[in-house]
Structure 1
Amino acid sequence: MSVDWIGFGYAVVVAAGGAVGYIRKGSTISLVAGLFFGLMAAYGAYWVTHDPRDIKISLFTAFLLTVVMGVRFKRTKKLMPAGIIAGLSLLMILKLVLHLV
């Protein structure tokens, strides 16, 4: 059984992004959303660690963040944070899908 280090790292980046948004802009919504999605990503990575074929939670979390942050990036054209999280989420989706093949 191998640990999904990439999934746990992704979860830490998402949660840290919410914390940074709170510290820099005072955005409580960024903090709550970052921590919520970070916990969801960590929970998904936990399940992928125990069963590599159980990617539902990780895939759903990454897909939702790709869509939400992708739309936000398209609207604002700001790479930080929307573009980075959208890109990382898309890479996470690719990693999960390719891991199944």
Structure 2
Amino acid sequence: MSGKITMAMAALFVVLAANVLQSTNGVSFTVGDFTGWIKPIKEDFYQNWAHGKSFVKGDVLGFKSGLEKSEKVAEVTEKAYDLCEIASTISSAIPIPINITLNRTGAY
């Protein structure tokens, strides 16, 4: 009987450890899925892509080149985003392809 309890406890430990490891590793997303990172045909393309997805600290956003090979990625403030202004970036424009790990909680 003691052996069965020990095996059950060991199995439970493995399951719990796997869940902890899974929760500390971020999920990888390819922005735009198969379309990649391009100037979208529809204004709401990337909003629609992000709809229903939950992004958390540790997740990785993969920016892959779509049709246009000279695209870049930059982090801007929400105000700059709303105004479509890139003059005051938080992080420099980076050529793609690139993977960016989300390093904080909150809106991006």
Task: Say whether the fold is shared (TM-score over 0.5).
Answer: no
Larger Rg: 2
Higher strand share: 2
Higher helix share: 1
Per the normalisation by structure 2, the TM-score is 0.26
Per the normalisation by structure 1, the TM-score is 0.27
